[in-house]
């Protein structure tokens, strides 16, 4: 039913949108390209764009200097672990809020979100002390717990908005059909909410992957994830553009690919149910 658009108009839109898109994407593209250049090419004046001798040397050097695999593994465990743990805790809570709402449900939700506004830096030292006392400093489990806690409000909130879309009658039907509470959540609610749970999972993996306050301040060597891996290149002696680019590409690569594949699910999750 949309009115016919003239090809000229469409071409103009296309050119404009691609221009803006490429401009926004350019810093990433440039980083990826530079990672395949030699250090000399990387700082050549004028800069070379596409026509250079492609080399994998930087990746080898970065790998040698810092063991990428270990950081990657830590990132996967911390981001994945905190998200899955968070979802396990949040699903029952979101079920309660969505299907057995009480007068306080909204207040509890808002309170949960408000804990997200608690400035991390305000409680850094106490957490630091607790971590030392409990032997959690520089451990993956410690970071899994902290990142789970800081993302829990968002997970609960997102799941709540998804669950609210599911008609309560279907859960009541399950109850009439003889399902226990556990069976109701396991066989009816969870399968129906899979798209919502998936986008919650994705968004929170990304948030946890990129979290750079707690991961930098609570780790040293053992449990350091990719945020720390890349931060080690901020010191002056690390200032080699090609190697920095290679390290950057390695740090963002996995999540960039994951994000691109799942952008549709992400968008719906990101709106927190407030935008239809």
Partner 1 sequence: MGRITLDQVSKRFGDVEVIPPLDLTIEDGEFTVFVGPSGCGKTTLLRLIAGLEDVSAGQIRIDKQDATMVPPSKRGLAMVFQSYALYPHMSVRKNIAFPMRMAKIPADEPTRRIDAAAKALNLTDYLDRRPGQLSGGQRQRVAIGRAIVREPSAFLFDEPLSNLDAALRVGMRLEISELHERLETTMIYVTHDQVEAMTMADKIVVLHAGVIEQVGSPLELYHTPRNKFVAGFIGSPKMNFIEGEEAAKFDAHTIGIRPEHIEVSGEEGAWSGVVSVSEHLGSDTFFHVHNTGLAETITVRAGGEVGFRHGDLIFLTPRSDVIHRFDAQGLRIA
Partner 2 sequence: MATQDSQPADGLMAAPAASGKPAASDLGGTRHARAAARLMMAPAVILLLGWMLVPLTMTLYFSFKKYLPLRGGDLGWVGFDNYVRFVSSSAFWPSVQATLVIVGGVLAITVVLGVGLAILLNQPMWGQGIVRVLVIAPFFVMPTVSALVWKNMFMDPVNGLLAHLWKAFGAEPLVWLTQASTQSIILIVSWQWLPFATLILLTAIQSLDREQLEAAEMDGAPPHKRFAFITLPHLSRAITVVVLIQTIFLLSIFAEIFVTTQGAFGTKTLTYLIFQRVLESQNIGLGSAGGVYAIILANIVAIFLMRIVGKNLDA
Which chain residues interact with partner 1 by CB under 8 A?
167, 169-170, 172-180, 183, 187-188, 191-192, 194
By a kind-dependent CB cut-off of 5 to 8 A, residue 191 interacts, out of partner 1, partner 2, none, with partner 1
Say how far apart CA 245 and CA 22 lie, in whole Å.
Answer: 19
Nearer to partner 2, 191 or 275 (CB): 275
The rounded distance, in Å, linking the Cα atoms of 218 and 214 is: 6
Question: Of 105, 247, 216, which is closest to residue 163 (Cα–Cα)?
Answer: 105
Which listed option, partner 1, partner 2, none, makes contact with residue 170 (CB within 5 to 8 Å by class)? partner 1
Q: Considering only CA atoms, which of 112, 106, 158, 135 is closest in space to residue 265?
A: 158
Please, what is the minimum distance in Å from the beta carbon of residue 168 to partner 1?
Answer: 9
Q: Which does 52 bind (CB under 5 to 8 A by kind): partner 2, partner 1, none?
A: none
Q: How far is the CB of 97 from partner 1 (least distance, A)?
A: 19
In the bound complex, what is the minimum distance in angstroms from residue 174's beta carbon to partner 1? 7
Contact 50, 33 (CB under 8 A): yes
Instruction: Considering the complex, state which of residue 113 and residue 179 has its C-beta at the smaller distance from partner 1.
Output: 179
- CB-nearer residue toward partner 1: 7 or 178: 178
Q: Are 66 and 229 in contact (CB under 8 A)?
A: yes
Q: Which residues contact 99 (CB under 8 A, 6 or more apart)?
A: 163, 168, 171
| Distance between CA atoms of residues 25 and 22, nearest Å | 5
CB of 164 to partner 1, least distance (A): 15
Closer to partner 1 by CB, 130 or 181: give it.
Answer: 181
Q: How far is the CB of 127 from partner 2 (least distance, A)?
A: 6
């Amino acid at each position: 039913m949309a009115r016919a658009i003239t090809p000229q108009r469409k071409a103009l839109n296309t050119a404009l949108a691609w221009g803006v898109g490429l401009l926004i994407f350019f810093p990433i593209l440039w980083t990826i390209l530079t990672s395949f250049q030699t250090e000399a090419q990387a700082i050549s004046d004028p800069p070379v764009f596409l026509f250079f001798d492609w080399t994998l040397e930087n990746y080898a050097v970065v790998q040698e200097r810092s063991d990428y695999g270990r950081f990657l593994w830590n990132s996967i465990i911390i981001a994945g672990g905190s998200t899955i743990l968070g979802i396990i805790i949040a699903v029952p809570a979101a079920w309660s809020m969505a299907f057995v709402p009480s007068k306080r449900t909204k207040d509890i939700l808002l309170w949960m979100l408000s804990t997200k506004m608690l400035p991390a830096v305000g409680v850094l030292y106490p957490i630091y002390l607790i971590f030392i006392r409990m032997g959690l400093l520089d451990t993956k489990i410690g970071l899994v717990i902290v990142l789970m806690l800081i993302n829990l409000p968002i997970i609960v909130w997102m799941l709540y908005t998804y669950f609210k879309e599911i008609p309560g009658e279907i859960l009541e039907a399950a109850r009439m059909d003889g399902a226990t509470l556990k069976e109701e959540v396991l066989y009816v609610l969870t399968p129906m909410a899979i798209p919502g749970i998936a986008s919650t999972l994705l968004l929170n993996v990304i948030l946890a992957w990129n979290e750079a306050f707690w991961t930098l301040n609570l780790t040293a060597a053992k449990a350091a994830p990719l945020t720390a891996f890349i931060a080690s290149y901020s010191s002056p002696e690390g200032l080699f553009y090609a190697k920095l680019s290679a390290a950057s590409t390695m740090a963002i690569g996995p999540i960039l690919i994951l994000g691109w594949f799942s952008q549709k699910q992400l968008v719906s999750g990101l709106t927190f149910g407030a935008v239809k």
